[in-house]
Amino acid sequence: MVKAAFLGLGVMGYPMARHLKAKGHDVTVYNRTTARAEKWVSEHGGRLAATPLEAARGQEIVFACVGNDDDLRQVTLGDNGAFGGMGTGTVFVDHTTASATIARELSAAAMERGFAFLDAPVSGGQAGAENGQLTVMVGGEQGPFEAAQPVIMAFARACRLLGPAGSGQLAKMMNQICIAGVVQGLAEAIHFGKRSGLDIEAVIEVISKGAAQSWQMENRSRTMNAGTFDFGFAVDWMRKDLGIVLDEARQNGAHLPLTALVDQFYSDVQSMGGRRWDTSSLIARLER
């Protein structure tokens, strides 16, 4: 058991913190909207902190899962930020999908203060968080990773150190690049099949046993075919992530024509009113 804090109780952080508590860890929570933190404590126990600073005091590990770079900077370095309460030798684990730039910035700031920072974005969506089956991509130093990894496994099925600070965020960018292309391909295939008069479910059953198989095909083809798009990771969030990817590509010189194109397709979905639809809604713009 470790003493841990969790900052940010959104659709991902809420169940992730729950898994920590269920594994026997001593958990303190903070959320910008206090009512949500109060609800979490009423359901799961633990303690409620009024600020990130208060939440971080006396903890061995502090976890965060917030919205973006600005949110992360605020809860760490802002007024009453968590970094002011971190003790020497402790570890801050950030599960936010953010830029590699801020990961490196916060890693350097943590090192100056005598503790460690790990950038550790996750993949698996809301269902993965609820079921404790997230994949965690980590950037940072080996020692802090070894200290944090057994605790992270409370809500993960896989967790790997991939390199120095920023590497976790870069790996998550690769993850989102892959997803963008696969979802667009699946959307076009289903759209094509429907226009051709095929039995989509029968075709998917067959081709999912071959080289076309993917997680998206297994988990989203039927709902895409039905035109239902309320299954987790929202278009708004995907566009935020792809924006981070494309910014990084401009810095490192990578050529991402497909990713840029799919980002614009998601912009079309937003203009159709699909900001909160899940990412499989790419098919909706083909069937307008």
CB contact at 8 A, 86 and 62 = yes
Map tokens 């109060």 to a residue. Answer: 38
Q: How far apart are CA 141 and CA 110, in angstroms?
A: 12
Q: 71-80: which pairs have CB atoms within 8 A and are 24 or more residues apart?
A: 71/8, 71/96, 72/96, 72/98, 72/102, 72/106, 73/102, 73/106, 75/7, 75/8, 75/30, 76/52, 76/106, 76/109, 77/106, 77/109, 78/52, 80/51, 80/52, 80/53, 80/54
Q: Which position among 23, 39, 172, 240 bears the catalytic label?
A: 172
Per the annotation, the verdict on 23 as an active-site residue is: no
User: Looking at the annotation, which residues are catalytic?
Assistant: 172
